[in-house]
Amino acid sequence: MTTFDLVEVQNFVADLDARMNHGQNGEGSVRVALDAIFRDHASLCHEFTEQVRSWRLAVFSGRTEFNHEVESVLLAEGTRLAVRSEDLRAREREVGLAEPISEVHGEFQAAVDRMNQLMDRWVRPRLSVGPGPRHWQHVTPQMIEEARRRVEALPPLPANWPFTEEQKRALGL
């Protein structure tokens, strides 16, 4: 996702949902079927986690504005993925697989754990108020003028400023 507007987030979530429900036909051996399902679900959890982190960074850095509806859509999708993860774990127990399914099970476990950490410790993102990463393509002339006004309002440096003239020039002072 690039803009993280509501429509783009809804499309992302619809794609995840479609992929989550795709290919669950039960054909083949139980072990092979679960192996493929775990691999696919781990990929979905990882993709979801990365997109939420990207959205939070975009809000924090001012590339996009916080939108309550976007947050609600993401929280709902995270909940659906978490419920599906628990269903998969229960299905594994039902079929009586005592040992994990190769390294795919470990990948599944790690992806679900990362996603669950994200969901359990959910923090609403907000714009950085201190010095932080800013992307100049989104800076308006009003924002530049406000920054200039704030810099001009700063008190002057003390007369016994500890830097030499050369250091001041290097710092642009």
Per-residue pLDDT reduced to its tens digit, 26-67: 444 455 567 778 888 889 899 999 999 999 998 888 888 899
Q: What is the pLDDT of residue 50?
A: 93
Residues 66 and 127: beta-carbon distance below 8 Å: yes
Residue 31: per-residue pLDDT: 55
Integer Cα distance of 4 and 10 in angstroms: 9
DSSP state, 28? S
pTM: 0.64
For 117-161, write each residue's pLDDT tens digit: 999 999 899 887 766 555 556 677 888 899 899 989 988 877 776
- The closest of 72, 92, 68 to 80, measured between CA atoms, is 72
Pick from 26-30, 91-95, 166-170: least confident: 26-30
Cα–Cα distance for residue pair 117/114, rounded to 1 Å: 5
Q: What is the C-alpha separation between 8 and 6, in angstroms, rounded?
A: 6
